[in-house]
Amino acid sequence: VQLVESGGGVVQAGGSRRLSCAASGMAFNDYIFHWVRQVPGKGLEWLALLSFDETRKSLRGSVIGRFTVSRDTFKKTVYLQMAGLRLEDTAIYFCAANRGDGSFDFWGQGTLVSVSS
Q: Which is nearer to other proteins, 30 or 105 (CB)?
A: 105
Contact status: 75 vs other proteins (CB under 8 A): no
CA nearest to 86, candidates 117, 60, 61, 110: 117
CA 84, 87, 88, 94 torsion-angle sign: positive
Task: Write out the binding residues for other proteins, residues 18-57 only, by CB under 8 A.
Answer: 34, 36, 43-46, 49, 56
Binding residue for other proteins (CB under 8 A) from 6, 20, 58, 68? 58
HEC string of 50-74 equals EECCCCCEEECHHHECCEEEEEECC
By the criterion CB under 8 A, which residues form the site for other proteins?
34, 36, 43-46, 49, 56, 58-61, 94, 96, 101-105, 107-110
